[in-house]
Amino acid sequence: MPSSLWLIPPKDDHPFNKSVQDLISSTIPSDFPHAPKNNFIPHVTVTSEIDPAATYEKSSSPQEWLDNLTLPEFKKEHDEVVIELEQLEAGEPFFKKVTLRAKKDANLIKFTSKCREQALALSDTEAQKWAENEYLPHLSLFYGDISKGDVEKKIGLIELQLGFELGSLFDCCGGTFAMGAKLVLVDTSKEIKDWTPIAQRDCPWVIWTMARGLL
């Protein structure tokens, strides 16, 4: 597996980040005690399939490559990229066993399209078509080699756990969990436990929210 670009919450000690990390690291794995535990940082994948040899290994450093990506000009409090988590889902793929699906916000599509265009050396049309038709933004909560049916049996419980972790934060902030994010480059060819950013870039114009019907 090549490398990936992710959006992650702004700070490790931010209440939203800490709550989601608790869900990933301990709460949801406890629902499936017989499945191997896979810990990873909260993230929404922007694009994957990045070939290091064709991208950041040609630069002086991964950080230089990331810094040189041309991103759309968004503005905090005026023209933001909104990550609105809107539905809890069970899935078949290992990496999408339990996810929070995110709304396909127009600015998120614009952002992911531009990143994929440069990271995979695609045309603007190819990248835009992928972002509009194939990209499925989501925040994963659990990876595992268990059946979708077994996960579906626990969705009611996971909904309660989600409410416990995020309910008070949702109520106090009107549905907005956090302002800002980091765009990070991750070598996803490594083992899951070693998936850590090798470069990062601030994105203050990202907002993390949740649909009211989810909690």
Q: Check 14, 34, 43, 78 and give the catalytic one.
A: 43
CA 179 to chain centre: 15
Nearest 5°: phi and psi at 45? Answer: -70, 130
Both structure tokens of 51 = 């070939």
Q: Is 74 helix (H, G, I), strand (E, B) or coil?
A: coil
Q: Is 34 a catalytic residue?
A: no
Answer whether 36's CB lies under 8 Å from 145's CB: yes
- Please return the burial class of 172, using the count of CB atoms within 10 Å of its CB with bins 0-12, 13-18 and 19+: exposed
Count of CB atoms situated within 10 Å of the CB of 160: 11
Closest by CA to 141, choosing from 12, 36, 43, is: 43
Q: Is 138 a catalytic residue?
A: yes
The single-letter DSSP state of residue 199 is E
Q: Check 14, 34, 78, 138 and give the catalytic one.
A: 138
Q: Which residues are catalytic?
A: 43, 138
